[in-house]
């Protein structure tokens, strides 16, 4: 991972020149396809040689080197003593020290390659790894490196294999941590070499996927002095972000934390996250209490290695290994041990497939003036490389297997919290399931799940011994207050205005911003900067653009949140709802002699009158036979029907109803009349007091279809919306400066140089309605929905905190109080214009009542006629004599069947009392007749006897 303590030899430009010359000579023409006798001196060995050389290229006096050397030596001993692998072939491990130098490390690597090594393990330095990868490509020698630089790609270097996980995954873990805790900006502190730069570049890419970013990259050279690092930390302490990512070498890393501690930067409110270099240091050497004290609350990432009996056994015998000295074991020891075993497995498979350790000298290399003839090409390198890629076994670090991109599978890290004298493991990160408190080995058995609900970590003790998640940012400690742009309005000064004595900004929007700032848990020093000349309203699009380019820190005022603005700045939660509406002039409706007819439509009048007659006729039919008030000459009965029908309108009918059916019909009808009377009265009252539009504009649709001029507020976004979204010709749009110009333009109208209507936002219109004394009205519906908010630079954390504060203002009623202070209610003017036609009542509003009334009349008349028909079927003239009774029944049947309609009508016209008297006499006659018949029958029987 580049944890090499590199000494700067200038910038070592001469070393790069030498290497370029070497590579140019080597890469001219490999000539591998030509005959060996012509171009090379081949040295061969048997397919099962007695020994095979592998190389180890490390800085052995480094954190990684001190752990890797005893681990690799132990692996060689374990392999050579294991008869199941290599089967009699001894594995020789040749150590070469890079000595913390890029140039010397390169020379050591070239010297190592000259010793006919089949595989090279190392280097740990990213810079040397880039150079050596070119060499091994030419010599076809697989390189198992512990360098974590994500730019070291197997696509560029085919013979480069990483025996440890890339920093790409570690940086993705850090990015997920940032998102998990809700932070958006970080500052990176890193060593300025390949390892540092490329790792931070990978972090920037990972953060960008989640809309987070690196706000500042603080780099220092590998040999930076304490003063250099101090100056760098003083610089970053003045910045906004309090999230620091430290990606450095071990010695310089501890120096960074020591200086940060002395500057008071490892305290409450700060967040420090260290990459895997820090656990490597803490695991490798005994750490004194002073060092642990400066690391309190720091988060650190460590390569995750699977827990196993094999790993514990190796750890337990660590102190007895050669080359250990005073070092303790860390994760790189496991990876180095596994790298040797990986090489052994690949060589064993290589030999099983009849592979030969054959090296040949290239003519171009032999003819080099740099005396590189000892460098020879491994003829079986490609075959051995494939064996390495196909190897699959379980080592100390876990499963050793390469994926399709030649990376070790299952990348994962442990997330540590440095507390007290050690560290607490607060969770894991894996490329499979993200953040979790469950071991990755358990999660591998389940379906992958990276949803936000599953991302969990244990509680953390942050710097300053606090458990609350730090906010992650503060205002820059540079003495400069926020520069807040405020529109210098010439109209609607209730929202934003300038008080000249004293010179200060005030208004509805300003009061809301100040109230929200007071709710924040930290001070927000700020200064208002007026934008505009005071003659015309400023262009709000330009105002927002100035915030986007960081000319101002924020913009406060009546700024509408629209799509094109949200693309360049961040807005707070809307503090006022808004939307475009159409305003048109109105006039009082002139009264007329026939105004009383306007409440009902013609259809309604006709149906109502018809039902008056229908109900009157129905009641007359039901009452005619039993109620003397509904009898008399035909002319009198007709007048009775008319009088009774229309007198019910005023509940003034004089005739009494005595029949049950008549009373039922009348009850339903009086209920209908009550509803109709009430509705008529309300509608007439509204019509006589309503205002009517002076123009034909009834909403946005009729405004679009017309060719009349349209007024808008100067500086408003309404112009762009009307032109771009509604395709209205720009020549129709007139900019108006203030309420006086609004009223004048509407009064003059389109024919006299004015406008037919005004399109503006609802808050402005509500103020204008009061100003106009209700001579204008909103017509149609609000045809856009938006709101007003405060604009901040993209990803500004202040926008989020102020949004929360605005919600608190809304919940505690403060938002409404400020509204009532500055904005007067427009009362009835704010309602839409009620046109006369809208107030007229039509049949569709009452058809249900008429249906009920009609059904009631029909049922009552049906019952009445059924009863009459039944009576008529039993009717017989009073002149029927007693001796004709038996013959009368068939005669009556014939008479009924041939009775005329006139007879039926005559029967219906008769009084009910007469009909009942007739049936009474008839029943009495039939009874006496029956008694006489029985007496006659008894006499006849007696005579017979």
Q: What's the rounded mean pLDDT across residues 806-825?
A: 89
Mean pLDDT of the chain: 81
**pLDDT, position 223:** 86
Burial of 360: CB neighbours in 10 Å, binned 0-12, 13-18, 19+: middle
In this model, does residue 849 exceed pLDDT 90? no
- Comparing 109-123, 484-498, 872-886, 914-928, the range with the smallest average pLDDT is 872-886
Q: Beta strand pairing status for 791-793 and 569-571?
A: antiparallel
CA torsion angle for 474, 475, 477, 479 (degrees, to 10)? -160
**Farthest-apart Cα atoms in the chain, separation:** 174
Among residues of the chain, what percentage have pLDDT more than 90?
A: 36
Interhelix angle for 63-80 vs 277-284, to 10°? 70
Can you tell me the distance from the alpha carbon of 363 to that of 380, in angstroms, rounded to the nearest whole number? 19
Can you tell me the distance from the alpha carbon of 462 to that of 327, in angstroms, rounded to the nearest whole number? 29
Asked if 116 and 357 touch (Cβ cutoff 8 Å), the reply is yes
Range among 5-14, 122-131, 336-345, 822-831 rated most confident: 336-345
Backbone phi and psi for residue 190, each to the nearest 5 degrees, phi listed first? -150, 160
In this model, does residue 404 exceed pLDDT 60? yes
**Measuring CA to CA, which residue among 336, 481, 406, 6 is closest to residue 168?**
406
**pLDDT, position 891:** 43
Quick count: other Cβ atoms within 10 Å of Cβ 127? 22
Report the half-sphere exposure of 844 (CA within 13 A, side-chain side).
Answer: 1
CA distances, 307 to each of 301, 398, 418 (Å): 17, 8, 21
**pLDDT, position 92:** 93
In this model, does residue 387 exceed pLDDT 80? yes
Q: What's the rounded mean pLDDT across residues 328-357?
A: 90
**Three-state DSSP state, 227:** helix
**Measuring CA to CA, which residue among 202, 99, 114, 119 is closest to residue 160?**
119
**Measuring CA to CA, which residue among 161, 99, 97 is closest to residue 129?**
161
In this model, does residue 368 exceed pLDDT 80? no
**Measuring CA to CA, which residue among 298, 214, 217 is closest to residue 261?**
298
- State pLDDT tens for residues 163-174: 999 999 999 999
**pLDDT, position 879:** 36
Where b means 16+ CB within 10 Å and e means fewer, 669-705 reads beebbeebeebbeebbeebbebbbbbbebbbbebbee
User: Using CA of residue 802, residue 804, residue 808, residue 810, what is the dihedral sign?
Assistant: positive
Can you tell me the distance from the alpha carbon of 650 to that of 530, in angstroms, rounded to the nearest whole number? 69
Of residues 825 and 78, more confidence is placed in: 78
CA distances, 101 to each of 97, 105, 284, 332, 460 (Å): 10, 6, 22, 21, 39
Six token digits for residue 100: 């913390």
**Measuring CA to CA, which residue among 781, 786, 777 is closest to residue 827?**
777
**Three-state DSSP state, 778:** strand
pLDDT band at residue 24, thresholds of 50, 70 and 90? very low
Range among 209-213, 271-275, 874-878 rated most confident: 271-275
pTM for the predicted model, two decimal places:
0.66
Where b means 16+ CB within 10 Å and e means fewer, 195-220 reads bbbbbbbbbbebbeeeebebbebbbb
Can you tell me the distance from the alpha carbon of 864 to that of 70, in angstroms, rounded to the nearest whole number? 118
Q: 569: which DSSP letter?
A: E
CA torsion angle for 643, 645, 651, 653 (degrees, to 10)? 40
Of residues 459 and 535, more confidence is placed in: 459
In which element (H, E) is residue 366 found? helix 363-366
**Three-state DSSP state, 519:** coil
- State pLDDT tens for residues 528-587: 999 988 888 899 999 999 999 999 999 999 999 999 999 999 999 999 999 999 998 876
Can you tell me the distance from the alpha carbon of 172 to that of 887, in angstroms, rounded to the nearest whole number? 116
Could you please report the per-residue DSSP string of 721-732?
Answer: IIIIIS---GGG
**pLDDT, position 29:** 34
In this model, does residue 881 exceed pLDDT 60? no
Q: What's the rounded mean pLDDT across residues 751-769?
A: 91
- Comparing 130-139, 182-191, 392-401, 633-642, the range with the smallest average pLDDT is 633-642
**Three-state DSSP state, 634:** helix
Q: Who's near 787: CB < 8 A, 6+ residues apart?
A: 560, 561, 574, 575, 576, 577, 578
In this model, does residue 939 exceed pLDDT 50? yes
User: Using CA of residue 442, residue 448, residue 453, residue 457, what is the dihedral sign?
Assistant: positive
In this model, does residue 1 exceed pLDDT 70? no
Of residues 617 and 477, more confidence is placed in: 617
Q: How far is CA 898 from the centre of its chain?
A: 87
Q: 54: which DSSP letter?
A: E
Q: How far is CA 641 from the centre of its chain?
A: 72
Can you tell me the distance from the alpha carbon of 129 to that of 153, in angstroms, rounded to the nearest whole number? 11
**pLDDT, position 79:** 92
Q: Who's near 879: CB < 8 A, 6+ residues apart?
A: none
Can you tell me the distance from the alpha carbon of 211 to that of 796, in angstroms, rounded to the nearest whole number? 12
Q: How far is CA 771 from the centre of its chain?
A: 41
**pLDDT, position 875:** 62
State the Rg of the chain over Cα: 51
Can you tell me the distance from the alpha carbon of 333 to that of 915, in angstroms, rounded to the nearest whole number? 124
- Comparing 114-123, 295-304, 542-551, 844-853, the range with the smallest average pLDDT is 844-853
Six token digits for residue 253: 């890393």
Q: Beta strand pairing status for 90-97 and 51-58?
A: parallel
């Amino acid at each position: 991972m580049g944890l090499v303590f590199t000494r700067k030899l200038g910038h070592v430009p001469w070393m790069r020149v030498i290497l370029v010359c070497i590579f140019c000579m080597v890469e001219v023409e490999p000539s591998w396809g030509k005959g060996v006798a012509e171009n090379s001196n081949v040295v061969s060995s048997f397919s099962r040689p007695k020994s095979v050389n592998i190389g180890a290229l490390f800085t052995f006096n480094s954190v990684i080197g001190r752990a890797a050397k005893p681990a690799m030596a132990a692996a060689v001993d374990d392999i050579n003593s294991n008869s199941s692998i290599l089967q009699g072939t001894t594995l020789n491990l040749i150590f070469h020290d890079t000595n913390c130098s890029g140039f010397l490390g390169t020379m050591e690597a070239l010297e190592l390659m000259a010793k006919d090594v089949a595989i090279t393990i190392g280097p740990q330095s990213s810079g040397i790894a880039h150079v050596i990868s070119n060499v091994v490509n030419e010599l076809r020698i697989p390189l198992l490196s512990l360098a974590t630089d994500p730019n070291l790609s197997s696509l560029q270097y085919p013979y480069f294999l990483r025996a440890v996980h890339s920093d790409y995954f570690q940086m993705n873990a850090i990015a997920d941590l940032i998102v998990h805790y809700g932070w958006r900006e970080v500052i990176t502190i890193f060593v300025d070499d390949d390892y540092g730069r490329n790792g931070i570049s990978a972090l920037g890419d990972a953060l960008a996927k989640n809309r987070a970013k690196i706000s500042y990259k603080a780099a220092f050279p590998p040999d930076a002095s304490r003063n250099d690092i101090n100056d760098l930390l003083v610089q970053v302490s003045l910045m906004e972000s309090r999230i620091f990512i430290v990606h450095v070498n071990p010695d310089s890393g501890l120096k960074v934390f020591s200086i940060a501690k002395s500057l008071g930067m490892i305290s409450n409110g700060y967040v420090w996250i260290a990459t895997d270099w820090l656990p490597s240091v803490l695991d490798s050497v005994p750490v004194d209490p002073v060092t642990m004290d400066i690391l309190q609350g720091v988060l650190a990432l460590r390569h995750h290695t699977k827990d196993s009996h094999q790993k514990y056994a190796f750890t337990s015998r660590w102190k007895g290994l050669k080359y250990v000295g005073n070092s303790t074991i860390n994760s790189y020891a496991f990876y180095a041990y596994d790298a040797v075993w990986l090489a052994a497995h690949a060589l064993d498979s290589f030999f099983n497939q009849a592979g030969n350790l054959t090296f040949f000298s290239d003519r171009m290399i032999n003819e080099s003036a740099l005396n590189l003839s000892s460098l020879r090409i491994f003829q079986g390198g490609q075959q051995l490389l494939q064996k390495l890629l196909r190897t699959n076994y379980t080592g100390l670090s876990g499963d050793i297997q390469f994926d399709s991109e030649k990376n070790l599978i299952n990348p994962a890290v442990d997330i540590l919290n440095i507390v007290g004298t050690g560290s607490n493991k607060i969770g894991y990160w894996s490329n499979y399931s993200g953040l979790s408190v469950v071991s990755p080995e358990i999660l591998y058995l389940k379906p992958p799940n990276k949803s936000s609900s599953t991302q969990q970590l244990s509680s953390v003790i942050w710097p300053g011994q606090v458990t609350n998640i730090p906010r992650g940012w503060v205002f820059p400690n540079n003495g400069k207050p926020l520069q807040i742009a405020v529109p210098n309005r010439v109209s609607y000064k209730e929202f934003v205005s300038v008080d000249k004595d004293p010179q200060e900004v005030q208004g509805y929007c300003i009061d809301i911003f100040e109230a929200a700032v007071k709710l924040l848990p930290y001070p927000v020093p700020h200064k208002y900067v007026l934008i505009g000349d005071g003659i015309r309203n400023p262009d709000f699009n330009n105002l927002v653009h100035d915030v986007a380019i960081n000319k101002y820190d924020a913009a406060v005022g009546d700024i509408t949140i629209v799509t094109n603005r949200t693309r360049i700045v961040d807005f707070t939660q809307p503090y006022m709802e808004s939307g475009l509406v159409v305003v048109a002039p109105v006039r009082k409706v002139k009264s007329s002699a026939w105004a009383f007819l306007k409440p009902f439509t013609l259809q309604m009048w006709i149906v109502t009158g018809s039902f008056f007659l229908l109900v009157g006729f129905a009641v007359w039919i039901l009452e005619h036979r039993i109620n003397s008030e509904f009898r008399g000459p035909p002319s009198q009965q007709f007048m009775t029907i008319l009088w009774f029908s229309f007198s019910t309108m005023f509940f003034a009918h004089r005739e009494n109803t005595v029949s049950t059916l008549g009373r039922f019909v009348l009850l339903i009808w009086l209920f209908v009349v009550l509803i109709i009377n009430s509705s008529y009265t309300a509608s007439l009252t509204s019509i006589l007091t309503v205002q009517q539009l002076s123009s034909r504009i009834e909403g946005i649709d009729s405004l679009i279809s017309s060719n009349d001029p349209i007024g808008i507020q100067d500086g408003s976004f309404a112009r762009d919306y009307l032109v771009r979204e509604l395709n209205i010709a720009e020549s129709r749009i007139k900019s108006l400066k203030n309420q006086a110009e609004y009223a004048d333009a509407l009064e003059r109208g389109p024919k006299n140089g004015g406008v037919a209507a005004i399109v503006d936002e609802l808050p402005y219109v509500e103020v204008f309605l009061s100003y106009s004394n209700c001579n204008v009205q909103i017509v149609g519906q609000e045809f856009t929905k938006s709101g007003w908010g405060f604009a901040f630079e993209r990803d500004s954390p202040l926008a989020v905190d102020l949004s929360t504060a605005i919600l608190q203002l809304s919940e505690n009623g403060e938002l409404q109080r400020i509204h009532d202070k500055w904005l007067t209610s427009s009362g009835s003017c704010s309602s839409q214009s009620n046109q006369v036609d809208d107030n007229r009542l039509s049949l569709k509003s009452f058809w249900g009542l008429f249906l009920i009334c009609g059904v009631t009349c029909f049922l009552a008349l049906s019952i009445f006629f059924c009863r009459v028909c039944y009576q008529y079927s039993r009717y017989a003239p009073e002149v029927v004599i007693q001796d004709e009774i038996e013959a009368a029944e068939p005669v009556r049947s014939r008479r009924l069947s041939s009775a005329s309609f006139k007879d039926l009508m005559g029967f219906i016209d008769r009084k009910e009392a007469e009909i009942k008297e007739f049936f009474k006499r008839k029943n009495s006659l039939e009874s006496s007749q029956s008694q006489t018949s029985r007496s006659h029958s008894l006499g006849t029987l007696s005579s017979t006897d």
